Structure formats: C-alpha cells, structure tokens
Amino acid sequence: MAGNSFGEIFRITTFGESHGKAIGVVIDGCPSGLKLDLDLIQHELDRRRPGQSAITTQRKESDTFEILSGVFEGKTLGSPIAITIKNEDPKPDDYAHLKEAYRPSHADFTYEMKYGTRDYRGGGRASARETAARVIAGAIAKQFIQQAGIEITAFVSSVGTIKLEKSYLDVDLAKAEGNIVRCPDAEIADKMIALIQDTRTKGDTVGGVVTCVIKGCPIGLGEPVFDKLHAELGKAMLSINAVHGFEYGSGFEGTQNYGSKNNDAFYTTAENKIETKTNFSGGIQGGISNGMNIYFNVAFKPVATIMQTQSSVDKEGHELELKGKGRHDPCVVPRAVPIVEAMAALVIADHLLRHRTTQL
Amino acid sequence: MAGNSFGEIFRITTFGESHGKAIGVVIDGCPSGLKLDLDLIQHELDRRRPGQSAITTQRKESDTFEILSGVFEGKTLGSPIAITIKNEDPKPDDYAHLKEAYRPSHADFTYEMKYGTRDYRGGGRASARETAARVIAGAIAKQFIQQAGIEITAFVSSVGTIKLEKSYLDVDLAKAEGNIVRCPDAEIADKMIALIQDTRTKGDTVGGVVTCVIKGCPIGLGEPVFDKLHAELGKAMLSINAVHGFEYGSGFEGTQNYGSKNNDAFYTTAENKIETKTNFSGGIQGGISNGMNIYFNVAFKPVATIMQTQSSVDKEGHELELKGKGRHDPCVVPRAVPIVEAMAALVIADHLLRHRTTQL
Amino acid sequence: MAGNSFGEIFRITTFGESHGKAIGVVIDGCPSGLKLDLDLIQHELDRRRPGQSAITTQRKESDTFEILSGVFEGKTLGSPIAITIKNEDPKPDDYAHLKEAYRPSHADFTYEMKYGTRDYRGGGRASARETAARVIAGAIAKQFIQQAGIEITAFVSSVGTIKLEKSYLDVDLAKAEGNIVRCPDAEIADKMIALIQDTRTKGDTVGGVVTCVIKGCPIGLGEPVFDKLHAELGKAMLSINAVHGFEYGSGFEGTQNYGSKNNDAFYTTAENKIETKTNFSGGIQGGISNGMNIYFNVAFKPVATIMQTQSSVDKEGHELELKGKGRHDPCVVPRAVPIVEAMAALVIADHLLRHRTTQL
Amino acid sequence: MAGNSFGEIFRITTFGESHGKAIGVVIDGCPSGLKLDLDLIQHELDRRRPGQSAITTQRKESDTFEILSGVFEGKTLGSPIAITIKNEDPKPDDYAHLKEAYRPSHADFTYEMKYGTRDYRGGGRASARETAARVIAGAIAKQFIQQAGIEITAFVSSVGTIKLEKSYLDVDLAKAEGNIVRCPDAEIADKMIALIQDTRTKGDTVGGVVTCVIKGCPIGLGEPVFDKLHAELGKAMLSINAVHGFEYGSGFEGTQNYGSKNNDAFYTTAENKIETKTNFSGGIQGGISNGMNIYFNVAFKPVATIMQTQSSVDKEGHELELKGKGRHDPCVVPRAVPIVEAMAALVIADHLLRHRTTQL
C-alpha cells in the first residue's frame, strides 16, 4: 500500500534512506531449499556500484551486505530473507545547503509536499542508493529462475544520440560486460564512452536506453487481464529511478506497422515445438509468455544532478541559485543494467510461482 | 493474484468471456456518498462501442449496463458496486473453425498452454470486450476524481505513419471528440481517417498512439518506491489489449537530452505557487505528482485480426491456413481513447485515496 | 481493502444488498479444469435457505443462482467465476419504519456512522443474505478440495444451554443432516428443537455453537507467522454474521490444562506415518496442518431480530419504541452449518494453492 | 502471501530465526510526522522480556533494538521503518539433540514437512522470539493511535483453573502492571503466582487467558463483510504463538443467552451521544466499532516446552525419548500481555487509516 513492496508471492520490501543507518530488503516468499551463491550477489552489487569505472561517479559507497535471516546452512529456509547494507557515516554539513532548497527535477519538492517532511541528506529515500536493495533481491531471484533454465541479459543500446542500430539478435550479448559502458558492440561502445566523458567535462548528464532479453522463459507466465507479463515488467522498469519509458516487442515503432506484417505466424519446429516465425510479440501474447525470447527497452532520462548552476526556489518559494558541487554520474545507464536485470528477475520469479497455482 | 483485479483501495475486479452470459465489474472501495450520473457511464461506453463510426468494426455489441449493488437512491453506499453487461447469444458455429486453430498474434495459443483449456468463442477472456468493464469502472472513477478538480483527456496522436507533430499544449483538446478518429487537429485527422479506410480496404490493420493528459492533479499522488505514479499508470496502460509501449514526460526522446536541458527549473508564480518552467518531468517527480500536467503516450500495435489468409498451426501442431472472415476493426486506436482515459482515472482515483493515509 | 474480498489466491469478492437487484460473488483464482457439479452448489444453498424447516424463519428468498462467466463446457476456465442470485422485488413500505430508527444490536447505527448513509431495507449489506454468496463460493471450493481428499463436516453442538457433551469423535457425523437442527445426536437434537420452538413462541432468539471437522487435510497447509492456518480459519468464522467466538483444538478449556497433559506425543503408525497419540493441537502445530483432524468451535450469539418491543433511538437521538413484526429466525445456528463449512472450504482451498509455492 | 506480513495500510513484515543473526520488523505505511518516544518502545520490550521476574524463564535475550530507517530528527518520514534486534551468538551444541527429533506440540515436525528443511536451533522461525518484533511495531502503533485518544490495556484473567471472575469493569486496570502475573486483582494474582511457581517445580507448564480492553476507539472502524473489526482482532490474536481461542463481547457464554437479554438497547446520553445501555456487542456491531469499549479474551494453551521426559519420534519415524533440559517458561501468559496489546494496536492503527478512505 505505501509502495515499498513489489511482487505477490516472491515479494520484496525495501527500506532505507541514503544517509540513514542502513538500507536493506526483506524477501518473503522465496521458496525453501534454494542453495545461495553469495558471491553472485556481491558480483551483481559490484556491477551497480558507483566508482566502478572511469565513466561513473567516483563517489564511494559501502556495499557489504549482511544476511540476517532466512538462510541456514547455505540454503533458503522458506522464511523471510532480510539483508542489509550499512551506510557510511553521513556528514550532515555536506547537505546543509539542501535543507531548504528544492533541486530541479529531483524529488525534494514532491517528497516535502507529500509527507510534510523529508530526509534531505543525499536524497533520502528517493536516492538511487535504494536500488542496491533491489539488486540484492534480484540476485537471489536470478538464482531461483536459473533453476528453471531462464537467463536474463541487459545491455546499453543507446546513450544520448549514439544508438546501437542492430537488433539484440545480431550482437553477442556476452560481450556487453566486456566494456565499461556495457554495449555489446565494441565500436558503438567506444562512441558512447567518448560521449559520456565529454558530457562529464561539461558538468552535464545524458540519458540512454537499456535493452533487456529474457531467454528460456517457459510458456504460460503472466496473469491476464491486469497482471499481463509485460504490464508487470513495465511497472517494474518504470519504478526504477529516472526511467521515463518502456516498450516491448514491436514497441512504439510497431505502431507504424500493418497487422499483416506485424503478426507472428505459428509453425512447428523440427523438434515438434510450436514457435513463431517472427517475434514482434516480444515473447508475450495476450499477456502470457509464449516461449519465444522476451525483449524490451527501458528509457532513462539524463539524471538531474548536474555540475552547473541552476535556478530554483526554497521552501518559502524564494528564488535562489544552486551550484553543482561534489561528484556526479554523467550517465547512469551503464550502472542501470544490473538494476534492469534485477527487476526483470523479480517479475519472472514471482510469475513462475504464481503460475504454479493456475491449473487443477 | 490471478490478475483480474486492479487498484489497492479503489479496486476493481472484472469478469466475463466475450461470448459467455455476461461481462462485468465489481468496484470495491469507491467512497460512499458519490452521486452517480448514469448517463455519463453510458456515454463512455458509447465512445468505446464497436460500430460507432465508419472506421470501426461494424460488429454490434450489446452494451446496456445494469447496476446490481452498491448504489442506493442515486448515491454510492460504500459497499461493492457490481455492474454487468449481458452478452448477445453466441452462435457457436461462427467459431467452430477456431476451436482447434491458433490465430497468429492472438492469445489462443498461450491461453491453451497456460490453462489447459480455453473458451475459443470470440477470444473468450482475452477479447477486448473485457475493456467495456474497465470503461464502466473508469466512468465512475472519473466522477469521483472530478470532485477533486481532476480532468483526463486522451486523443489519437498517431495512426500508422500519420503523426500529430504538435505538442498537446498546441492543440485544442476539446476538439478531439469532434471527429471519428479522435485527433484534435482536423487536418491530421482527415489523413488518419483516409489511412484507416485504405487499410480496411486491404483487409489489413494498422497501429497508432494515444496521448493522454491529466490536468488538475493535486501535488502528492504516487507511492514511492515501487508504486510511483507513472509506474502505476504504465502498468494500467500496458494491461490494455494490444498496447506495446508507454512513455511519460520526456519519454524515449528525452533519453537523447542533456540534463541541463531536461531539468525543470522551479519558480514561484504570481499566485505564489511553486511550479516548473518546463515540464519534461511530465508532472511527476520521484514518482509523485508535482501539480503540473501529467501527460503520457501509449503505443498500440496493429490488432491481429486481419481479413487476409494466414498460415498457422492447430493443437497438434499441424500447419493450416486461416482465412479472414466476418467484420474487423482496421484500427482500434480511436476506440481505445476512452479505455486509456478509464484506466488513467482508475489509477488517479486509487492514489487519491491512498494519499489520504500518508500523513499524521 | 474495503473488506469485501477473502483469500489470497483462491479469492472471492462478494457484493449485494439484501433488497438491491442481486447479490453475488466473483471467484478469482479457482484453478482451471475443475469439473463443476451445479447440483452440489444448489444443495448447499438449500441447506442455508430460510424456510427450509419448522425451526427457521418462514421468510422466502429467491435462491436461483446464475453463472455468468468462468465456466465453459462444464469446467472452470481459470478466469473469474461470477455468480449472481437475483433478489425478490423489495417492498419499500415494509422497511419505511426502519429508515430513521436504529435497531438494537444490528448494524444500522454503525453503518450510518461509518458510511454516512445506508440501505435500510432488510439490513442492506449487513444482512445475512450476503452469506448465500459465500455458500456458493464455498460449494465450488469444496469441489476443488475434495479432489485432494479433504472433507469438511460441521454440525450444531449447542443451542442455548442444550449442549452435546460428546466429542466429535464419539458421534456419527453423517447423522448431522438427519434432523432439522443438524446435531448428530438424535436425543440432544430433539431437546434443541424443543428449545428453539419454545424460543420462537416467546418471540425471542437463542444462540449456539457450531463445531466443524476437517478430515484428510494434507500436512503443510498454513503460512506462519501471521497466516497460521487456525488464524485464517478464525478470521473466516468471525467474519460470519453473529459470530462472537472461535476456538480450535484444546481451545478455551485447554487453558486449564498442564502442558504434560496437553502435549501431543508423536508415534509411528503401522503404515509408517508419523501421527500424534492425542490431538489437543487440533490438527495444527505452529500454524501448519500436521495431518490429524482439524476441529474447531464457532460461537453464535442470539440474533438481534426479536418479536418483542424494544427501546431505541432514531438518527436525531430521540428515543422510540421498536415493535417486532414479520417473521424471524429464532435460532440461526442450524442454518449457519453450511456457512461455516463454506468458509472453512474457502480457507483450505486458498492454502492448498498457497502451499504449492513453498518449496523449490 | 508467505505469511510474514500483517495489516493492509499500517503493514508490518517480521523476519528472523531465534538463533540467526537478528530478528526484526519493517513497518510500511506508518504516517509521516509521528514523533517517536523510543523509551516507550523499550518499555514494551521489557514487559515481554524473558527473565523479567521470578515466574518467567530465566533465559536471557538480547533486546536492544536499532532503528535502521524511516525516522529522521525524531519523527517518522513516511518511509519504511526497519528495526532489528541482534540475537546472541547461538551455541549449536545446545540444539544438536533437536536436529533429528520432533518435540511434541512444537512446530518441528510441521516446519520440516512444509519446507523440507528447518532451522532447528531454538525453534527457528517458530520461536516466540519472533513476537519481540511484533511488540516493537505495536509500540509504534500505540503511539500513533494514542494521538486519536485510543488506549489499549490487557491483563491476565486466568491461569490454569485460577480465574478472575470479575468483569474488566469491576477492577482497576491500572493495577494489572502492579504484580508480576499482570492480574489487576491482587488476591487472585497471588493465587496465580503460586500456581505458576508450583507448576515450575513440577517441570510443567500451564495455560491461561488474557483479556484486552480498547477504550476510546472512534465509531466506524472495521470493514465489512470480511474484515470486520473483531475478525481482524481475532486473526491477530490467533496468530500469536500458543493461542487457541478468541472471543469478544458476549463470546462463548453469550451463546446461551436469549436475544431479549443479549441485545444492547440504544439511548441518548446527557452529552447527546448515542450509546448502548449494555455492551454484549463488545463495542462492535456489524463488524464496525460503535464507540463503546471493545473487549475480548485470548486463550493460551500451556506451552509445549516442559522439563519432563516425553516420547517422540525422529525424522525417520524411530521412537525416542526427549528429556527436558535448560530453562523454561512455566506460564507465558503474563509475558503475553504486551504481545496481545501490540497486536491489538496494530489492528486499530491499520483500521484508523483504512477508515480515512471510506467517505467522499
């Protein structure tokens, strides 16, 4: 109800302000008997971590997670899994100038209006630091769905105006992690990196698109009519900070198509499986996975923290100037890749379990 | 859990197969004391109805709704409001040819796989007829939110490659209902209509985009971190049949922007209100409405029912040919306008109520 | 949220006022492929129906149910099952005297205060007529759980001070339906009937207790820590009109026991099953079914509608006298038996499905 | 879904095994702006703590809570409040003997069957240690509802066969905390204490009843038809370890009444308020609070851990003897008093917020 939980059966609740004592997550409904690989959890956190490369913010964040419950002798118990990450000691002075000011396109103003209060230190609850909790939970969801043969891979398909024009089918997805911008095409990756570095120099930020592919998803996931699989994926993605758009399968471009082109004809494979010749449906028909690859795009706006002077107002509405200071992330899109994967894994894990209750 | 409910407090549950006895909706959580205008409900249904104009399917549907409960002496009681629409008597022979066949890009295959059964008559539960129930519920939600001064207007902004290039700010939204394609620009509307008529002639279908604007939304709606207002709107839209994409504010195009352009500077109006000079945020910051206009785009693929012969398979995987027959909708986008508005109204109604519990 | 839904996966939503157009229920989450016996549904409704015997109210109620959706060719589709029962035409004059008055120990006063309005005809939403919708849903739940070998039997174990002192183990449960008071001991049944008839003569009402036994429940149902199986059963029972108490296993009496007596020792049966020698636990340990019989008692207060003059107040607080008129139910406990079974079946059906998601 | 959350708007999720790293709770939906008195939280924990008096177990438990999030400058932010209590280092050897054995009337067997695994150290998730998390959350809920003028007081009304025969109206509730058994009648309290001490000497345990009174509850709380206020209270109480029964108002005894006695006549007070002359309804009519005192009884069985040798079986079904060892709680009922209050406070807090959404 208050918005900090996600999922119906595989259900997470995240908590924590950016500069409070800790952030964390409780996962309720993770099946018992799952052997957890803790290194994989840390690996996913490292992919999200600030300061991981030359094109991210150089800010340091503690990211040592601690499992408080729900795991015994290396396996899940079926009880809630609570995991925390301690925050560094906040230095209140660093944020004193934000106590009264509303930063443009941040959540300062809306939080203050909604709650009548806010933790102004580092964005408080609205900080993207909250996504670390999602990545932890997603890393556990990934381990659960891998047992069902499902693999999720996301990559950066555009940064600003630099766009990977190829389909995900025409690149080697395994190469996405081979460069710091996480684009599977080395040439395009270099251009993206150059653009981000240039953007940093200007004290500015730039947006981009993350593409995500889910392979091996069994037929039947998704609950019509409201919890269609793509509607759940869409909500998951749109809940990530800075996301302004979601499309799957033929997406916005497909609105220009005729049905005669856009329809996916069924045929029977040599292995006697029913598949479709094309996949404009993006692996989902009528809200239910059809066994083909699921793929979708997620649009990230340029993040709001820039190193330039901006005009704004304070609580009383007095105009003021805000100066950029400290470190910033010129483009969060590469660091968003593991977050997109995590949210996708949470949706799929939840629907794998929901689907168990469908038939007699 | 099984996917037929939407909303947390203002919560609807829809039911009904296309050719079963009836379709309908139960609204639980509509506040008591709301005076209902039944004509407005019928008006919204009429906007969605097949056969309303020369560019829609000429199929007839019964659409006389009956309120079974929850309303007494013209006002809501606070108890569940159940409303049904009877279906016409199905003629089973019309659908016998679909009993064994999977129509391309329909939900036939996935429903059969998920549930082990399906009502093959007219698409059963997967039929867009289900959206009539949403429109009824949305018409009640609209009446609730109008009391809070909120107005929702949607219109068609593209059909196939014909696109209204102007912003919603540069057209007269009131004119959208002035033509059968529901585009507020008469010239573009004519082109859209011509395209749809041409598409019908070819026995084909074409997609398009609906743009929706919410004016007068109070500051503070939306529940971070997962139930951000735009994430809820996105899920609502993506749950509508044939929708493949959602974007709000600066959307996909904004991914190409720099932060220095995309940030919305705050200022104080003459009436001493804090507003933003630009509105790339689309009226939502940090997942919470900021009082500016909310606007978003919804992408509809061309619908799957075409009047052309297509190859497909039957349950046993044998290949077959499906011939188009009967009537079809060459472009559902104009009829989707009231559905988009209905789903938006349901989201806003729910969040108006959720917001009541935020502060001490 | 607004209280008209029950269950998480096998989830029902009931609707309808006593003298509105219809009452009904939507069942969402009933697994697909369940062959429905409609006669069994009618049979359960008949067990609940007013006027079924000399000791119930002689009021007539329409009780012809109609399935609107979710069932195709005799089997469930996995989509929502909507079922309605039309109400008789209300005669407004019959209730005009209640428009302004609050009947003692009815819900008139609290509904008016909570909602600012009420349908005063026949109790409106607070009428026990609403339980017919539960009985319909329960009859479907029963058919689902019977497939898992689970049988639910309830009976009347006390009426006023007339009490069946024997344990459920010492009577033939099948005999409960053999008399109109639904007590499996014929001698006690006669005394109960006599008491009820005497109570009717006085224009009074009397309470009683229903005992319910669930046999064949598999080990493992119930979700600690809050959704313990007995907590869910307790809530289900307490939600039935006029219920004031619930106890399971050793119940209130067991509070007087020592642990050394009350503990249920485990042993291994000849069939190599682990069972307990005694069953003070009532078939549930730690909130989870242990495979032994589940049994519990449900306390019903005497219903509030009596044929005697009572003092009360009207909306303005003016004192007035209310005269009993029409027909009344001197003791609802026999008619509550199928309602108790229905609610128990709904809980078990839901937990059977929930349990499917527990383990890897 | 997996059972570790309670409440709809004021919603808690507890986590933690008895001998894992920590237990804790996340509260989502606590309104913003609530000034928290941390000493009151500690005070409630101290009332629940083992070792607090001569009649409880002498086991020591760490009970220093730490707030990780959701509170800033002494007030709630409206974001999730996460609170943990670290566990003492477990000594695995203490529990090695329980690894394979199922203790009678504990949850060992059912957890193993349900989850296929269990944390056998100190009862794991099934340990009553989990209730410390409820007490913390309840202490915050209490502070919220106190702002609405609501006070909750529970006390011990029976231990074994020693029963306080007086109504709660005829004792001074403030005296309940004046003795270690928490019975407001000093004479009866002494008898209870003597019984408990005698029970301890025998290495046995004994049950009892806690009575709870809610004063100052506004009219209108509770959501018919399923979430009736007493149904929610009942579920809350039945979810507490060792609880086997719940009754409110006239309860089980009232089943023996005639309606003419049991009905609560309305009248108008000198202050022009509508009240009832008697209160057999227990402050709740039709599932909605009517402004009178709410009162109910909660039945606790004797806890299962006794210091006597008992026969049982191991995982393979082999019979064995279990010896009592260590310390035990001869009667948990006095320590259950703050737990009952906490759960009641959580229900009332949730329904205070839910009620805000009822009317236009």
pLDDT in tens, D135-176: 999 999 999 999 999 999 999 999 999 999 999 999 999 999
The pLDDT > 70 percentage for chain D reads 99
Contact D129, D62 (CB under 8 A): no
pLDDT tens profile C216-274: 999 999 999 999 999 999 999 999 999 999 999 999 999 999 999 999 999 999 999 99
Q: Does the distance separating the beta carbons of C147 and A32 come in below 8 Å?
A: no
Interface contact D360-B34, CB threshold 8 A: yes
Least CB–CB distance from C357: residue in A1, A9, A360: A9
Three-state secondary structure readout of chain C = CCCCEECCCCEEEEECCCCCCEEEEEEECCCECCECCHHHHHHHHHHHCCCCCCCCCCCCCCCCEEECCCEECCEECCCCEEEEEECCCCCHHHHHHHCCEECCCCCHHHHHHHHCCCCCHHHHHHCHHHHHHHHHHHHHHHHHHHCCCCEEEEEEEEECCEECCCCHHHCCHHHHHHCCCCCCCHHHHHHHHHHHHHHHHCCCCECEEEEEEEECCCCCCCECCCECHHHHHHHHHHCCCCEEEEEECCCCHHHHCEHHHHCCCEEECCCCCEEECCCCCCCEECCEECCCCEEEEEEECCCCCCCCCEEEEECCCCEEEECCCCCCCCCCHHHHHHHHHHHHHHHHHHHHHHHCCCEC
Shortest Cα distance, chain B CAs vs residue D242, angstroms: 31
Q: 10 Å Cβ neighbour count for C314? A: 15
Distances from the Cα of B93 to the Cα of B17, B121, B162, B338, angstroms: 17, 9, 39, 32
For residue D360, give the nearest of B1, B147, B358 by CB distance.
B147
Q: Are D304 and C235 a contacting pair at CB < 8 A? A: no
Nearest to C31 among A9, A34, A359 (CB): A359
What CA–CA distance (Å, rounded) separates B278 from C65? 57
- Which chain A residues touch B339 with a CB distance below 8 Å? none
Average pLDDT of chain C is 95
Give the residue with greater pLDDT, B351 vs D317: B351
Which runs of consecutive H residues, i.e. helices, occur in chain B?
38-48, 108-115, 131-146, 186-201, 229-238, 259-262, 333-355
Q: What is the model's pLDDT at position C301?
A: 98
Predicted confidence at residue A347, as pLDDT, reads 98
Average pLDDT over residues C112-128: 94
The edge-to-edge listing of strands for the beta sheet with A5-6 is A5-6, A11-15, A22-28, A81-86, A65-67
pLDDT of res. C266: 97
Q: State what percent of residues in chain B have pLDDT above 90.
A: 89
Residues of B with CB under 8 A from a CB of D: 1, 9, 29, 31-34, 78, 144, 147, 224, 353-354, 356-360
**Beta pairing partners, B72:** B75
Contact residues on chain A for B235, CB-CB shorter than 8 A: 226, 231-232, 234-235, 238
Q: pLDDT tens digits for C291-304? A: 999 999 999 999 99
D242 vs B316, higher pLDDT: D242
Write out chain A residues lying below 8 Å of C359, CB-based. Answer: 31-33, 78
C-chain residues near D260 (CB < 8 A)? 202, 204-205, 306, 308
pLDDT at D248 over 80: yes
Which of C225, C246, C285 comes nearest D245 by C-beta? C246
**Average of per-residue pLDDT across A226-235:** 98
Q: Would you say D122 and D18 are in contact if contact means Cβ atoms under 8 Å apart?
A: yes
Q: Under 8 Å CB-to-CB from C154, ≥6 apart: which residues?
A: C176, C182, C210, C211, C212, C213, C337, C338, C340, C341, C344
Q: With contact defined as beta carbons under 8 Å apart, do D360 and B78 qualify? A: no
Locate A17 and state its tokens.
């302000």
What is the pLDDT, as a whole number, of residue A89? 66
What percent of chain A is modeled with pLDDT above 90?
A: 89
CA gap C153, C174 in Å, rounded: 8
Mutate to test the interface with B, among C67, C79, C352 (most CBs of B within 10 A): C79
Contact D29 A70 (CB under 8 A): no
Record the tokens describing residue A142, joined without a space: 């990934």
Which strand (E) or helix (H) includes residue D248? strand D243-248
State whether D78 and B31 contact (CB < 8 Å).
no
State the nearest Cα–Cα gap between D350 and chain C, in angstroms.
Answer: 10
pLDDT tens string D72-100: 999 999 999 999 999 976 666 777 778 88
Q: Which residue in D17, D80, D115 is closest to A4 by CB distance? A: D80
Which residues of chain D lie closer than 8 angstroms to A5, CB-CB? 11, 13, 28
| Chain A residues touching C78 at Cβ < 8 A | 358-359
Locate the chain B residue with the closest alpha carbon to A2. Answer: B223
Cα angle, residue C100 at apex, residues C96 and C104 outer, rounded to 5°: 105
Q: Which residues of A touch D (CB under 8 A)?
A: 1-5, 8-9, 11, 13-17, 20-24, 26, 28-29, 32-33, 66-70, 72, 75, 77-82, 84, 114-119, 124-125
Calculate mean pLDDT across residues C75-79: 98
> Residues A15-34: pLDDT tens digits?
999 999 999 999 999 999 99
Residue B209 and residue A256 in contact, taking contact as beta carbons nearer than 8 Å: no
Q: Counting one residue from A and one from B, how many pairs have CB atoms under 8 Å apart?
A: 380
The residue behind tokens 């479907």 is C140
CB contact under 8 A, B119 and C22: no
**Angstrom distance (rounded) from CA B176 to CA B47:** 12
Q: pTM for this structure?
A: 0.98
Mean pLDDT in residue range C92-103: 81
Question: Where do the domains of chain A lie, and which CATH numbers do they carry?
Answer: 5-357 (3.60.150.10)
Nearest CA to C9 out of B28, A356, D115, A226 is that of: A356
Q: Which residues of D touch A69 (CB under 8 A)?
A: 15-17, 20-24
Out of D32, D69, D80, name the one closest to residue A115 (CB).
Answer: D32
